[in-house]
Structure 1
């Protein structure tokens, strides 16, 4: 940590992100990867429902209800990943130590590369689909752009959760 004084918010977030009561949820690499996989699946499901809501002709209120129900496990999975990474992406930079700062930089760089590839794939998909159909699929452009934006937003969390290391074992001296 730097010599910058921690605010009450910083101390609260640091205490919350280092709370080990939920450690059983992310104690092993398999559990952390399961949490990331569940988060990705829930994000895709919520995104698919939003796309359906956006493209549907009638007003399907059931999609809003299902999205609201899926939001709770999505938030739990987010908390599990944040706990597994000890708040690597949630804590302010001046709260992190040198190792955490370096890890945050690595995670953000890798997430940026993955998101760039996904953005290129989305653009290529729209261009190819438009070339085959003879016209760009305008109805799908907005949902696809929103999906890429959401992916860009959560990709660092997914990468950090996927790459999180096991806690060092306590040694009795």
Structure 2
């Protein structure tokens, strides 16, 4: 951390993001991958339901009810990923240490590259659909652009969750500290 004074907000966020009570949810790489997969799945489901709600004519409000139910597990998955990364993307820059700042830069660069590829694929898909039909499918352009925006917003979180490292085991911490204290 830098010498910048932490605000009350910074201290509370730092405490929250380093709370180890949820460690069991993301202690191993497979659990973190599962949390990211669940988050991606729930995001796709919420987006699909929202698209259905707006494009469906005369549809009842059942998609809204299902979205409300899916929002809670989506928020839990978001919290699990944020806990696994110790708030890498949620904490302000001056709260992060040097290693975390570098990691944040790496995560954002990877996410940017992945989102660029996704946007290129979306553009090619719309253009190909327009060429085969003779006219671009205008009804799907807005949902596709909104989906691309959501992915652009969430991709850093997913990348950070997939690249988070395991917490050191208690024995590993003691072994690395013992030679330093003996010297």
TM-score by length of 1: 0.98
Q: State the Cα deviation string for residues 105-151 of structure 1 (Å, max 9, x = none).
A: 00000000000000000000000000001101000000000000000
Task: Tell me the matched-pair count.
Answer: 173
Task: Please state whether the residue corresponding to 2:124 is helix, strand or coil.
Answer: helix
Show the counterpart of 1:115: 115
Show the counterpart of 1:84: 84
Show the counterpart of 1:150: 150
Unaligned runs of 5+ in 1: none
Q: How do residues 20-169 of structure 1 correspond to structure 2 at under 5 angstroms?
A: 20-169=20-169
Larger mean CA deviation between 1-10 and 162-171 belongs to 162-171
Higher helix share: 2
* Alpha-carbon distance in 2 for matches of 1:148, 1:89: 20
* Alpha-carbon distance in 2 for matches of 1:134, 1:21: 56
Q: State the Cα deviation string for residues 18-59 of structure 1 (Å, max 9, x = none).
A: 000000000000000000000000000000001111110113
* Alpha-carbon distance in 2 for matches of 1:36, 1:22: 15
* Alpha-carbon distance in 1 for matches of 2:6, 2:118: 37
TM-score by length of 2: 0.93
* Alpha-carbon distance in 1 for matches of 2:58, 2:116: 35
Unaligned runs of 5+ in 2: 179-183
* Alpha-carbon distance in 1 for matches of 2:34, 2:163: 12
Task: Please state whether the residue corresponding to 2:20 is helix, strand or coil.
Answer: coil
* Alpha-carbon distance in 1 for matches of 2:25, 2:88: 17
Q: State the Cα deviation string for residues 56-98 of structure 1 (Å, max 9, x = none).
A: 0113200000000000000000000000000000000000000
Q: Which structure has the bigger radius of gyration?
A: 2
* Alpha-carbon distance in 1 for matches of 2:122, 2:70: 25
